[in-house]
Amino acid sequence: MQSAPDTTDPICPICGRTIPPDVPQSRHHLIPRLKGGKGGETVLLHHICHKEIHATLSEAELARDYHTPEALRAHPRLARFARWVAKRPPGFLSRSEGKRRPPS
């Protein structure tokens, strides 16, 4: 059972939905740890939003061009995903398997 939205719940910077404490969530390093971001700034995201970021972009792309929430939201595929997932409840999880990003 999902909790009712609380005005103190954080907001996901990708989809704009609240992140209640009882839904799957994770921290995203804005600069990947392997690219020098260890100990750097992180943002709290819905787990599904975090998975979509890593299914879409390589670590190098994240470090070079997509190291802010604004840049992530501007990516065409992530923008489509954000519009789609924003219509779902905060605890929504997809059943997709594996990465969809083409090999580099």
DSSP output for 20-71: -TTS-EEEEESS-GGGTTTTS-EEEEEHHHHHHHHHH--HHHHHHH--SHHH
Residue 78 lies inside a defined structural domain of this protein: yes
In contact, 44 and 10? CB cutoff 8 Å: yes
In one letter, which amino acid is 22?
D
| Encoded tokens for 55 | 């299914």
Instruction: Round to whole Å and give the CA distance between 28 and 64.
Output: 15
Tens-place pLDDT, residues 30-58: 999 989 888 899 999 999 999 999 999 99
Residue 101 lies inside a defined structural domain of this protein: no
Count of the separate structural domains present in the chain = 1
Residue 61 lies inside a defined structural domain of this protein: yes
Q: Does this model's pTM top 0.85?
A: no
Tens-place pLDDT, residues 66-91: 999 999 999 999 999 999 999 998 88
Residue 103 lies inside a defined structural domain of this protein: no
Domain ranges, residue 38: 25-85
